[in-house]
Structure 1
Amino acid sequence: MPALIRPFTALRPRPEHAAAVAAPPYDVLSSDEARARAAGKPHSFLHISKAEIDLPPEVDHYAPEVYAKSAENLRKLIDDNILIREDKPCYYAYRLVMGAHTQTGLIAAASVAHYDTNRIRKHEFTRPDKEDDRVRQIEALNAQTGPVLLAHPDSDEAERLVAAATAGTPIADLTADDGIKHTLWRIDDEAVIARISTVVDAMPALYIADGHHRSAAASRVAAARRGQGRPDSAEYFLAVIFPARQMRIFDYNRVVRDLNGHTVESFLTAVAERCTVTPAEGRATPPATGCFGLYLAKRWYHLTIKPELVPTQDPVRRLDVSVLSEQILAPVLGIADLRRDTRIDFVGGIRGLGELEKRVDSGEMAVAFAIYPTQLGELMSVADAGEVMPPKSTWFEPKLADGLASHVLD
């Protein structure tokens, strides 16, 4: 088998242009939001990751001209010397700072072969249309520009090796418009590169935290090129690997449009058959797993699930998001399919509980549930078991930036 990770010859912005190039991930902004964020910023990577912003609004986001425009915009940044190509394969240390939280990881090329054999472990289903989009993007650019977020098991040496690189001069150092600080350092010492490769290759597995469609698309591109006898750079995909113990998952909350025929009183009675229901003073932030916040008719309640209802031996069904679905959303509210039921919506915890109040108080939604954040250890247990997480189980913050390092497929 090939190495689990390897260095790569990145396409990256010149240090003086890094702040102008860096952009939010392509999948966290709508086209209208991206158009507004990129206004007056000709070097923003949004012109590549969401090139529809440079075309008439009526153009379909998956139309061939969108991918062609993306490639045109990338070529222009290269021709204008905004983006440059490294002259040798390197790793990169990447530090994210969000408020008091700091995490430092490694930008590397990760093995498609190990993804295909599940040593780089998955925990989500993917949608064919979204995979197709990423395949077309990779092929149009001949590059992977959106990194896959990976987590690695505890390793003091891996963390020490990457942290040592941060003593040097960064090649990118910026604070984005959302307040998150992004800093990159190049790791080009051959001995350090070899040691990092050895330490990571000794790990039993890496875990996809975010980027299932990007990694699946990379695998498809590699398979297609393998059959054509093309160079092996496509056998690796762009990744940022953080220590699991440094990463932070926010809650991913639920709001529901109606009470499925219940009155407020009958709904609370039905919930009380499965949970201890206690009125809260102020907002009901869940203090631990097995606890939920409920917002209904301008009041917050603490819910504590009855312990006998939690299937402790099943890594998926014991998740709080699963327990909420099995004990309240399905039997009480009649929501059995989280992927397709239009009566339910999902609110990332980064927006706070105030967003849940807003959605309910406006009359758009009838009830909201605040969920204790899924823990990374729970995600890893699900992936180790070869199982799949329920939809909208995890919300990772801070988000990676697009554009700071891209993997060109030679």
Structure 2
Amino acid sequence: MTSDSSLIRPFAGLRPRSTDAAAVAAPPYDVLSSDEARLAATGNPLSFLHVSKAEIDLPPEVDHYAPEVYARSALNFRRLIDDGVLCRDPRPCYYAYRLVMGEHVQTGLVAAASIAAYDSNRIRKHEFTRPDKEDDRVRQIEALNAQTGPVLLAHPDDAQAEELLAGATGQTPLADLTAADGIRHTLWLIDDGAAMARISAVFGAMPALYIADGHHRSAAASRVAASRRLAGRGGADSFLAVIFPARQMQILDYNRVVRDLNGLGVDAFLLAVGERYRVSPAAGPLRPECGGVCGMYLAGRWYRLQVRSELVPLSDPVRRLDVSVLAEQLLAPVLGISDLRRDTRIDFVGGMRGLGELERRVDSGEMAVAFAMYPTQMADLMAVADIGQVMPPKSTWFEPKLADGLVSLMLDRETG
């Protein structure tokens, strides 16, 4: 096992005053559309959406990637700092961060994660990134001279790491709020020297960390670091992260809807599906109970599909995923969809929207068929990342989401 305490480090976080935390905290920049963000921030000048989606403060016709958007973001960020809404802690520290969504609870560590570990794949990826989205995050980081959107990481299950964080959550929190979506966010300070040293040692001994959500943010941070190294500038050796135990992470289903049956009638389509899946009628909306099973909504009826076991390549961590099996056995050969990234005939529906959303989109005539997927498991994600491969598009939907604005990482004066 590799031991390297530089895998993570404490940092002097920029965060809202406790009295302003509820007003500042906002959903991640990529969860809301611009119109949704504009509505959510109405009447709240402290909302971090004015920083993360600054186009809401500009005329609607302004391109979201225009230079004035990043300039406005920097202006709004600086205003929050100058007005004392956001204050920087006087010295490096860690933070404990708890998310509560109904009965689900997860507690993680807010830290500065090593860019070097990311570049060497000790902080492991499982998705491709899009250059335009990376460019957007690079411009945002450079405009603010800060990283404000945390990357969601998972660590291999480690009882000692969980005990260390549990010990930090017994004190008065820095922030404790329930967002509009009902998710509770609680943040605690960890500034005791001995406790920070133990955290650095325990996490530093971990063989790897895994990106769950935030591939574009981490890739952009790596690009900024490389650019600054070439320019002889420092202060960009880490990226903002919240690290949770893998066993506490919650992945919801990421479902598929398809616009047409590729020229087939309903009966012919069912026959074609039956060559690869065991098809049986379902009494109502079907949420798959295990891997290898998916629900299908077609022509006003639900079906249970169970893939024929001989078609699943169990030795291949990528191809054995349910989303891969559906793509290889049904979407491509039957529906003619071979490029999930570019084909406009397919769309994806996050599990938070429920199976009713699948029914609605088919019943409306917008789509012809819907597939309810069994959620990808964390063990599958880690297995794919461990072999340096990537998962198919839209394989994971993590809930609950981290808030933007509760802690930010300033780049200047931050050193490894």
Fold-level match, TM-score > 0.5?
Answer: yes
Q: Distance in 2 between matches of 1:170 and 1:230?
A: 35
Q: What do the CA deviations read for 1:50-76 (whole angstroms, capped 9, x no partner)? A: 000000000000000000000000011
Aligned counterpart, 1:53: 56
What is the distance in 2 between the residues matched to 1:351 and 1:86? 38
Name the Cα RMSD after superposition.
Answer: 0.6
Asked if structure 2 preserves the Cα contact closer than 8 Å seen for 1:2 and 1:113, the reply is no
What is the CA–CA distance in structure 1 between the aligned matches of 2:394 and 2:314, rounded to whole Å?
A: 21
Q: Please tell me whether residue 85 in structure 1 is matched to residue 88 in structure 2.
A: yes
SS at match of 1:234: coil
Q: Which residue of 2 aligns with 1:76?
A: 79
Tell me what 2:395 maps to. 393
Residue 275 of structure 1 aligns with which residue? 277
TM-score, structure 2 normalization: 0.98
Distance 1:284 1:245 in 2: 26
Deviation at 1:2, TM superposition (A): 6.8
Query: Would the aligned equivalents of 2:5 and 2:201 in 1 still touch at CA under 8 Å?
Result: no
Q: Which residue identity does 1:191 align to in structure 2? A: A
Contact 1:19/1:176 (8 A) holds in 2: yes
Structure 2: distance between partners of 1:9 and 1:80: 19
* 1:136 alignment partner in structure 2: 139
- Is 1:224 the counterpart of 2:227? The answer is yes
Aligned equivalents of 1:128, 1:261: Cα separation in 2: 35
**Which whole-Å CA distance do the structure 2 matches of 1:260 and 1:335 have between them?**
9
Structure 1 unaligned segments of length 5 or more: list them.
none
Residue of structure 2 equivalent to 1:10: 13
1:102 aligns with 2:114: no
Instruction: Report the Cα offset of residue 284 of structure 1.
Output: 1.1
Q: Distance in 2 between matches of 1:5 and 1:285?
A: 39
Contact 1:50 1:70 (C-alpha < 8 Å) held by counterparts? yes
**1:328 paired to 2:330:** yes
Aligned positions of 1:2-401 closer than 5 A? 3-231=6-234, 233-401=235-403
Q: Percent identity?
A: 76
Misfit runs of 4+, over 2 Å: none
Secondary structure of the 2:206 match is: coil
Q: CA deviation at 1:100?
A: 0.6
Uncovered stretches (5+) of structure 2, i.e. residues with no partner: none
Aligned to 1:125, the other structure's residue is in SS state: coil
* SS of residue paired to 1:27: coil
- Asked if structure 1 preserves the Cα contact closer than 8 Å seen for 2:5 and 2:205, the reply is no
Contact in 2 for aligned 1:329/1:336 (Cα 8 Å):
yes
Native 8 Å contact 1:45 1:402 kept in 2:
yes
Deviation at 1:357, TM superposition (A): 0.3
Give the TM-score taking structure 1 as reference length.
0.99
In 2, the alpha carbon distance for the partners of 1:357 and 1:164 equals 46
Aligned length: 409
Task: Look up the SS of the partner of 1:106 in the other structure.
Answer: strand
| Cα contact 1:311–1:318 (8 A) shared by 2 | yes
Q: Can you list the C-alpha shifts for 1:70-112, whole angstroms capped at 9, x where unaligned? A: 0000011111111001000010000000001000000000000
Aligned AA for 2:201? T
CA distance in 2, matches of 1:229, 1:2: 25
1:371 Cα shift?
Answer: 0.5
Whether the aligned pair in 1 keeps the contact of 2:5 and 2:203 (CA below 8 Å) is: no
Structure-1 separation of matches of 2:398 and 2:184: 16
State the secondary structure of the residue aligned to 1:237: strand
* Counterpart-to-counterpart distance in 2, 1:315 and 1:53: 42
Equivalent position amino acid for 1:362 in 2: S
